[in-house]
A and B are shown apart, each in its own frame.
Chain A
Amino acid sequence: GAGVSQSPSNKVTEKGKDVELRCDPISGHTALYWYRQSLGQGLEFLIYFQGNSAPDKSGLPSDRFSAERTGGSVSTLTIQRTQQEDSAVYLCASRASGQGAFWELFFGEGSRLTVL
């Protein structure tokens, strides 16, 4: 597709269940970011993948959160044993490499997670 695609767009789950959120970045983009946005709040950095380098996981709030990026393309954010405070919109963004395209992030529409 032309843009960053995220699925599911909405997910309602029960406390204690595991969830997986998927991000398909723009083809060829080497960098991929995950952010969390609680209602009416700013973006909280979670994790950053850049090419084949080790990911920057410094924003993951607990060991219940993990993410992987397979084949340098699709990424999955996994939240284990979900808690009500995990309810938020999870945004994925990707970025190209190379001069003139090195900075701008392209965002997906987000996955809204509700933990009951």
Chain B
Amino acid sequence: SQQGEEDPQALSIQEGENATMNCSYKTSINNLQWYRQNSGRGLVHLILIRSNEREKHSGRLRVTLDTSKKSSSLLITASRAADTASYFCATGGGYQKVTFGIGTKLQVIP
């Protein structure tokens, strides 16, 4: 079963705009990760946020985590056409299985 659910499932924006994707999960977590998948490729790890963190930045990425609402958001600022991909949140890891959400398909229009 899928632990996380991303929304929106699809998002289309113009280059230069910001893209925000949300993830909700069901059980308690130690951390939450975001991954990116280019069409027809494997997933690539973007960023991890621990359960005791509320916000984390990496380059143009900003991730927030609200454990009381069991939700996380991924913000990509100043989007580029190359950011076009699917984005997944994932929970678990360590000695537990890692489960992924259904993903948000982002299209950035040049």
Bitwise interface map of A from 48 to 73 toward B, beta carbon under 8 Å scored 1, else 0: 10100100101100000000000000
B42 engages A42 (CB within 8 Å): no
Q: Roughly how many angstroms separate A105 CA and B97 CA in the complex, as a whole number?
A: 11
CB contacts (< 8 Å) of B78 on chain A: these are none
Checking A40, A93, A103 against B43 with a beta-carbon cut-off of 8 angstroms, the contacting residue is A93
Known: A50-B95, A95-B93, A102-B94. A107 touches B100 (CB 8 A): no
Check A109 for interface membership: any CB of B closer than 8 A.
yes
Q: Verify A103–B42 contact, CB threshold 8 A.
A: no
Q: How many angstroms from the CA of A108 to the CA of B43 in the assembled complex?
A: 8
Interface residues on B, range: 20 to 34
Is B25 close to A, CB under 8 A? no
Contact B42 A45 (CB under 8 A): no
B14 interface residue (CB < 8 Å to A): no
Range for the number of chain A residues in contact with chain B: 20 to 34
Asked whether, in the complex, the Cβ of B88 is within 8 Å of the Cβ of A33, the reply is: no
Interface residue SS majority, chain A: loop
Q: How far is the CA of A107 from the CA of B41 in the complex (A)?
A: 9
Q: How far is the CB of B32 from chain A (nearest CB, A)?
A: 10
A-contact 0/1 string along B79-110, CB 8 Å cutoff:
00000000010100111011111110100000
B88 pairs with A110, CB closer than 8 A: no
Which of A40, A105, A110 has the largest count of B CB atoms less than 10 A from its CB? A105
Whether, in the assembled complex, B45 has its beta carbon less than 8 Å from a beta carbon of chain A, the answer is yes
B residues adjacent to A (C-beta < 8 A): 2, 31, 33, 35, 41-45, 48, 88, 90, 93-95, 97-103, 105
A-B pairs with beta carbons under 8 Å apart, 13 shown: A33-B98, A43-B43, A44-B2, A45-B97, A45-B99, A45-B100, A93-B98, A95-B93, A102-B93, A104-B45, A104-B48, A105-B33, A109-B41
Known: A42-B101, A105-B35. 16 other contacts (CB 8 A): A35-B100, A42-B88, A43-B43, A43-B88, A44-B2, A45-B98, A48-B98, A53-B95, A102-B93, A102-B94, A103-B48, A103-B94, A104-B45, A104-B48, A105-B98, A109-B42
